Amino acid sequence: MNMNKREKIYLIAIIVLLGLLLAKSFYLDEYKPVTEDEILFREYVEKVIDDKFHGFFSRSKLIGYRIVSIKKVEDEGVSVIEVKSENEGEYKNAEIDGKYVAKIRKYLFHVLPYGEDKILSRK
């Protein structure tokens, strides 16, 4: 099969863009918490993701989810969240200062982003 110069350039561009998408999806999108409250809230968000998104596509590993940001939106009050306790499979209530919101990105085949969702620490 003979490809002309333009087709070769398009093929190279597609390969480069796919490589950039893979790097972005696997290395740049994952949020790293910096405070103890963010660590606890991230654990709570992972539990909510497991409870909320447990359909066929999630069970068959066709769809993945990542926490891409956590922001503190209010300083007043406390949020009561559930986190894992020392005992396996059990959860306990924990308090964090303020109100947090986490942005979740949904991925098809764990690479192609197709949607976003938000989870709040309290209403």
6-17 residue pLDDT tens: 999 999 999 999
- Does the pTM exceed 0.85? no
> Could you give the strand order of the β-sheet that contains 91-108, starting from the edge strand earlier in sequence?
63-84, 91-108, 112-120
Q: Give 52 or 46, the one with higher predicted confidence.
A: 46
Please enumerate in sequence order all residues whose Cβ is within 8 A of that of 109, keeping only pairs 6 or more positions apart, or say none.
62, 64
Average the pLDDT over 47-55 and give the result: 83
Q: Give 2 or 71, the one with higher predicted confidence.
A: 71
Average model confidence (pLDDT) for the chain? 87
Average the pLDDT over 74-98 and give the result: 85
Q: Is the pLDDT of residue 40 over 80?
A: yes
